[in-house]
Amino acid sequence: MPNHPTLATLAADLDSGRTTSRKLVEECLARIADPAGEGRRAFVHVDKGAALAAAEAMDGLRKVNAAPSRYAGIPISIKDLFDIKGQVTRAGSRALDDSPPAEHDAATVARLRAAGFVLIGRTNMTEFAYSGIGINPHFGTPKGGWNRAAGHVPGGSSSGAAVSVLDGMAHGALGTDTGGSCRIPAAYNGIVGYKPTQRRVPLDGAVPLSFSLDSIGPLARSVGCCAVLDAVLANEPIVAPRPRPVQGMRLALPTTIALDDLDAEVAATFERALKSLSSHGAFIERIEMAELHDIGPMNAKGGFAAAESFAWHRYLITSKGQVYDPRVAVRIMRGEAQSAADYIDLINERRSLIARVNARLAPYDALVLPTTANTPPRIADLADDKAFTTANLRSLRNCTLINMIDGCAISLPAHREGEMPVGLMLAGAGGSDRRIFELAAGMEAVIRV
């Protein structure tokens, strides 16, 4: 990853006068506009005038010691799934082109504004957030950071969000995560992505994929950066996570599903990270988690995502289905075949799953597993629908396990400089967010040595 600053570094520079919000915004805008870069594909809308005006306002408030937070003036990007007052929310689709501008900010956007963050623009995404790959036929597909000349996928659905942070077009990003949409693009681009416990962050003002599984989280350059943004999104005090010593960490590695069919690079990088953790005193126990076998049958008919997205899309897709990405439309339409009884069964089965998994995790600090089974595939290799489906399922598989158990999880870059990007995921039961941040902060530097 390029040597871009963290939120803490930027806050210190702003506080000392070494930089200004206007300068930060102008630098981000220049990177977005660079014709040799990915800005035109990473963003679907850049609000240059409003961003510069907000930067001037934050600089003025800081001069009179009235900045709303120490992070005021730092530019961040917003996934095109969120309402921003006065703008049309398209959710990466042409089907919403004629929608009226939003009358209010989404709850999370409003919280970021209140903390003084500057909204630099709306980022590209998989249409309606329905894939872990990041391809968008309407607005183009931003190339991921790995081997740009070959054109690898950015990961989805928060594709532009990850690329905006990686390339310094923003210093943090607001994303969503229904089955990995913050963590997958983070893993594919060598940054950090966080999926919070769902109930901590309000979903109001975001186009839903699955209201049972949707979570709103940040993508950024470090554990500390994600912790700052997560606290703002959850309306909690911003307190830097206290890194836990690696020595004595109790980590469970599920051998059920999570280690199946790994790409060679993923397997090698992950095992190297585990060895480093062990050498620093972490206790890692490989455990069977038979409960995870229940998730595949639960999703056999499309699961919550198909049922709940069809409920939201059923009228729009009837009138404008011809402009949907066919790969998205076919998955939404799977929800039409689910009955009310099927859906009630899903709710009950998930409730049981969560209880059983929480009991299984009780003796451990966290689960540790690869974020994705695969490394980012080339965009050109996914023209065939079968190849796309295979890659998509492998991208989503491990992350989806955590959404289904109502957990929280973070993806950390585990690869070394010059290697293909690989993410290591730490996950815990719902409500263990603070512990996950502390563990991640403690192991952040260790896993890449």
**CB distance 101 to 48 below 8 Å:** no
By the 10 Å C-beta count (0-12 exposed, 13-18 middle, 19+ buried), 218 is classed as: buried
d(CA 391, CA 131): 10
Catalytic-role residue among 21, 131, 164, 181: 181
- Written as one string, the DSSP assignment of 339-362 is -HHHHHHHHHHHHHHHHHHHHHHT
325 contacts: CB under 8 Å, gap ≥ 6: 93, 127, 136, 137, 138
User: How many Å apart are CA 382 and CA 158, to the nearest integer?
Assistant: 18
Neighbours of 418 (CB within 10 A): 5
Task: Note if 79 is an active site residue.
Answer: yes
| Residue from 403, 381, 405, 237 nearest 305 by CA | 403
Is position 158 annotated as part of the catalytic site?
no
Kindly give, in sequence order, each residue whose CB lies less than 8 Å from that of residue 214, ignoring residues fewer than 6 positions away.
176, 177, 178, 198, 203, 206, 208
> Is 157 a residue of the active site?
yes
φ, ψ dihedrals at 220, nearest 5°: -160, -170
Instruction: State whether residue 423 is helix, strand or coil.
Output: strand
State the catalytic residue, choosing from 21, 79, 93, 210.
79
| Catalytic residue, candidates 77, 131, 157, 222 | 157
Distance CA 321, CA 315 (A): 9
- Going by C-alpha positions, the residue among 306, 316, 315, 308 that lies closest to residue 93 is 316
Whether the CB-CB separation of 250 and 286 falls below 8 Å is answered with no
| Catalytic residue positions, numbered | 79, 157, 181
